[in-house]
Structure 1
Amino acid sequence: MSATPLSVSDAVEVDAIDRQAGRLIALGGWTIVVIVGGMLLWLLYAPLAGAAYGSGMVRVDTQRKTVQHRDGGIVKTILVREGQHVTAGATLVELEDVRLDASADALEGQLAAEQLKASRLAAERLLASSWAPPADIVARGRKEPRLAAAIAQEVALFKARRARLDGQIALTRKQMDDVKVQLAAREREFASASQALALMDEEIAANQRLLEQNYVNKVRVVTLQRSAAEYRMRIDDNRAETAKAAQTLSDLELRLASVGDGTVQEASNDLRDTQARIVEIEERLRAARDATDHKLIVAPVSGRVIDLKVTTPGSALGPRDPVLDIVPDDAPLIVETRLPVDAVQHLRTGQQADVRLTAVKLRAARTFIGEVVYVSADALEDRRTGAPYYLAHVKLDRAALDEAGVELRPGMAAEVFVRTRERTAFDYLSEPFTAAMHRAFRE
């Protein structure tokens, strides 16, 4: 069979098809060249950011405050719960100790009794005619029978001592009044005797002149002189009795003054001793109250309660046993992460890190940019697995967190990508081969 010859039009059409096919082949070839070349250029020159990956957790930048108790004891009341916010000085847990409570109560009773006595002695020192116990002690006495009995005893003692003092004063004044009456009588007797003696002297003088003229006998004159001598003796006796009564009055005045002075001195001495006992009891009570106050476990700082270890009233708490931890309000939060040891050559403070908070549910996946603020100086070892790692702290941008409405809480899980040096894709692909060849040549 012979081939059918092509017409001129068919030949032209075939030639056009051949040229079109050639152009398509050329275009495809150039396209492949461009793609392959672009890929080669991308592999060789396009920088890719490296990253060291580690899982982490949000923690307090500074150490959280662990609350302990010095002596321990039996848990009486738990006043906080996990996650609760507390202020500095707030009571967290109350312990109980019957011996301390009894000792403090006994000392408080002794102190109140001594203060009551001191108040009574202070009134006696001022020679007060009346005394009322302090109002605060009276108020306590309504609830404490022993203190009420002490109040009644002190009131009765004050009244008895005041009555004794008043009796002594009244008796002395009565004696003074009697002596004054005697003095007044002596003065009247002295005046009467003096007047009689003066008249007697005048009569003696007149009779003496008559005797010289022999108008009277001598017996008359001698009789008058004897009577005058008796008056003088009575006047001298009166003067002696008056002096004696005056001395008695002076002694009574001194006794009256000494009655008050003695009471003041006795009250002052007793008050000094009582005040010394008050100081001693206050020191003992201060120590007892200090021990009692230690039964109250209070918050050292304001913050949030975490890791509450005491949950049951009546449980025993040993000395220095941790009770709970408090995350301070002003403590900055960071993301603590463990990074592989082979990334240490690329780690340094100030590097950027991408952090994704896995515990936060956002509408869209959100990565927050942070800054590496700490890298451990040496590799650490996981106590459970024994795997080595480097510890790093990443600080997040507070403004970005606020914009996203995210509130950091200690314990939140996170994924951390610490950006390392930039390398090309070719470097990533060739690194295993170059490393293998390097080891092979060394072997």
Structure 2
Amino acid sequence: MAGCVASIPRPSFHTLPARLRDRAAPLLASVTQTMSGLRDKSVRVWRTAIATACEYLSRLRRSVSAVAARLSVVRDQLKQSFDRWVEGGALFPARHAERARLLEESPRKGSSRTMAQELAAIMPPPPVTPFLRLRALAAGAFAVVGVFVVGFGVWAVFAPLESAAIAGGAIEAESSRKTIQHLEGGIVARILVKDGDRVAAGQPLIRLDDTKPQATVQMLQMQLWDAQALEARLLAERGDLGTIQFPSTIRPAARNAPALADIIAGQIKIFDTRRKLLASRIEVVERRKAQDGQEIESARFQAQAAAKRVAIIKDEIGVVAPLVAKRLQARGRLTQLEREQAEIEGRLGDAQARMAKARQSQGEAEAMILQLESDHQTEIAQSLRDARAQIFELHERIQAANDVLARTVVRAPEAGTVTDLRIHTPGGVVAAGEPLLDLVPGDDRLIVQAQVKPEDIDLVRPGLDARIRLLSYKHRRVPPVDGVLTYVSADRLVDKETERSYYEARIRIDEASLHSLPEVEIMPGMPVEVLIKTGEFTVAHYALRPVFDSFNRAFRED
């Protein structure tokens, strides 16, 4: 029956439905408050009872003192009566002569002998019966039991006992066991370690095939050199330099890279071609500008000649016109002079118009030259921006490609021991993110990772002392190790295998306590049992706790 009762799972408030929890929470709070009041009232009752008992003992002591005084008076009275009885002589039997002699020899009042001794000297000893012997044994037994009960009660009320929450766990590395994975995956080239090998930080563990990452890096490097050569050519064009100043990183590399030498030669050829093309365009416009200048000079000469002829004709008309008015000269001569004047003035206007047109064309030629140079610089600036953006992007891509290339060698992130190696076949394929092996840190500090029961979480908090029992060693040979609770999870966790709820706790092992056991060597994975000290309680508290727990469970809805 006891085993059946013990197998019944303990009810938990958190396992009740939400509706029942909401209805039971106020009642539980009220019951808890009532029980707290009853507990305080019980403490006050016990204190009052103890005070009353102390007062009763004080009164009893005073009563005993009064009784002792009365007994002293009775003793004196009895002594006087016996003295008178002995002095009478008639009633005293002969068989008591020796006792009378002893009474005569005994000291009188004020002697150190007690009344009991005097009575023992006078009265004959009482007969010893089995009943008296049994009563004496019973009185002694009751006295012993009473002393034991009172002593145990005082010890149960006042003697403190340590309370602890028990949790199972295991030794773990403080930074936990490391699972080594590969981001991109690939083909396994070489496996450099095996299970149990101790490795240093940065030591190669596995090599993957680097053909594809190496080709990617080389391709991106060629694109970078091309963009840098383009940038150098554009800078030379923008500064109107005679030659291209290539970066110092390109020239040495061109000796061992024929493709880079071809890139440099191509940029030099483009540079010369573009310079010649721009120069030819500007030269064409300059020729046109020179022709316009010649046209301007020719028109200016013609305009000057026409202006002189117009002036001469005007002078001649000034002479002929008065003569024609006086009828001294024929009218036809004046008309001819006026016709010539109009014709020459027309030629003068035409020359001036051609000169203005030539000047306009010359201005357009100058503007065209400026436009050609501006377009050329704009094109260079745009190409330079694109080239520099490409260079920046290629630097980033090359860095990423170099990272991928470097990751083809899987290295140990820190010193430790290789365990659970999952690949064993060179040439096999590793998927992206697939675990390759586990690494147990070697220089990391070891801690205890324990699982605290949910019903004990209200007593557990960081900073509490703990005792760690190493289950791999016999308890008689190896005492528990001291530790300190450093971490308690903020929420409840569930074990995926057992589906049992728990709170994760971490305990730091006391190095001094561990060093005091030179024969003990701890390692990750070792099972332990942790006793987390939660406080001090008395035996009476433990005895009465089931009563209070039964009250707490009595007011729950089924």
TM-score bucket of the superposed structures, by smaller chain: 0.5 to 0.7
Contact 1:72 1:321 in 2 (8 A): no
Distance in structure 2 (CA, Å) of the matches to 1:77 and 1:267? 53
Deviations 1:177-204 (A, max 9, x none): 3312321332233233213311321122
CA distance, structure 1, for counterparts of residue 411 and residue 325 of structure 2: 121
The aligned amino acid for 1:176 is K
On the 8 A contact 2:468/2:482 being kept in 1, the answer is: yes
Q: Distance in 1 between matches of 2:390 and 2:507?
A: 62
C-alpha distance in 2, partners of 1:412/1:279? 50
Question: Which of 481, 485, 502 is residue 370 of structure 1 equivalent to?
Answer: 481
Report what 1:33 is aligned to. none
CA distance in 1, matches of 2:482, 2:294: 109
SS at match of 2:249: helix
Structure 1 position 93, deviation (Å): 4.2
Secondary structure (helix, strand or coil) at the match of 2:198 reads coil
> Offset of 1:146 from its aligned partner?
1.0
Query: How far is 1:330 from its partner?
Result: 4.0
TM-score by length of 1: 0.56
- Cα distance in structure 1, aligned partners of 2:521 and 2:291: 98
Match of 2:266 among 153, 156, 160: 153
Alignment partners' CA distance in 2, 1:403 and 1:184: 115
- C-alpha distance after superposition, 1:25-47 (max 9, x if no partner): xxxxxxxxxxxxxxxxxxxxxxx
Number of aligned residues:
326
Aligned counterparts of 1:192 and 1:287: Cα–Cα separation in 2: 80
Residue in 1 aligned with 2:321?
208
C-alpha separation in 1, matches of 2:193 and 2:277: 58
Separation of aligned partners in 2, 1:215 and 1:77: 132
* 2:436 counterpart of 1:322: yes
CA-based RMSD of the aligned residues comes to 5.1
Identify if the C-alpha distance between structure 1 residues 328 and 220 changes in structure 2 by more than 3 Å, giving closer, same or farther.
farther
Q: Give 1:308 deviation, angstroms.
A: 8.8
Task: Give 1:332's aligned amino acid.
Answer: L
Which residue identity lines up with residue 362 of structure 2 in the other structure? L
Q: Which amino acid aligns with 1:150?
A: I
Query: Is the 8 Å Cα contact of residues 370 and 395 (structure 1) preserved in structure 2?
Result: no
Change (3 A) 1:279 1:411: closer
Which residue of 411, 416, 422 maps to 1:304? 416
- Tell me the distance in 2 between the aligned counterparts of 1:63 and 1:298: 18
- Note closer, same or farther for the CA distance 1:243–1:351 as it changes in structure 2 (3 Å cut): closer
**CA–CA distance in structure 2, aligned partners of residues 74 and 185 of structure 1:** 87
Which structure has the larger Rg over C-alpha atoms? 2
Q: How far does residue 325 in structure 1 lie from its aligned partner after superposition?
A: 1.1
Q: How far is the alpha carbon of 1:100 from its aligned partner?
A: 2.8
Structure 1 counterpart of 2:277, from 147, 155, 164: 164
- Cα separation, partners in 2 of 1:367 and 1:351, compared to 1, 3 Å: closer
- 1:83 maps to which residue? 198
Could you list the runs of 5+ residues in structure 2 that have no partner in the other structure? 1-169, 451-464, 486-493, 498-505, 532-558
Unmatched tracts of structure 1, length 5 or more: 1-56, 337-348, 359-365, 381-392, 420-443
CA-to-aligned-CA distance 1:269-323 (integer Å, 9 cap, x gap): 66677678778877876775554343132444x3334449599996657443534
Aligned to 2:373: 260
Q: Does 1:105 align with 2:214?
A: no
Structure 2 SS opposite 1:136 = coil
Aligned to 1:74: 188
Contact 1:355 1:370 (8 Å CA) reproduced: no
User: What code does the residue aligned with 1:186 have?
Assistant: A
Does residue 209 of structure 2 align to residue 96 of structure 1? yes
Counterpart of 2:189, as a letter, is: V
Distance 1:104 1:335, change over 3 A: closer
Higher RCO (CA 8 Å, separation ≥ 6 residues): 1
Partners of 2:410 and 2:381 in 1: CA distance? 44
Return the structure number with greater strand share: 1
Amino acid at match of 2:356: A
Aligned partner of 2:304: which letter?
A
From the superposition, tell whether residues 188 and 409 of structure 1 become closer, same or farther in structure 2 (CA, over 3 Å).
farther
Confirm or deny: 8 A CA contact 1:75 1:95 kept in the other structure. yes
Aligned residue type for 1:160: T
Look up the match of 1:238: 351
The worse-fitting range, judged by mean Cα deviation, of 288-297 and 240-249 is: 288-297
For 1:292, give the aligned amino acid.
L
Give 2:511's aligned amino acid.
R
Is the alpha carbon distance of 1:407 and 1:100 closer, same or farther for their aligned partners in structure 2, counting shifts above 3 Å? farther
Q: Is the 8 A contact 1:95 1:296 kept in 2?
A: yes
The 1:149/1:350 distance shift into structure 2, 3 A limit, reads same
Provide closer, same or farther for how the CA distance between residues 171 and 158 of structure 1 changes in structure 2, counting only shifts above 3 A: same
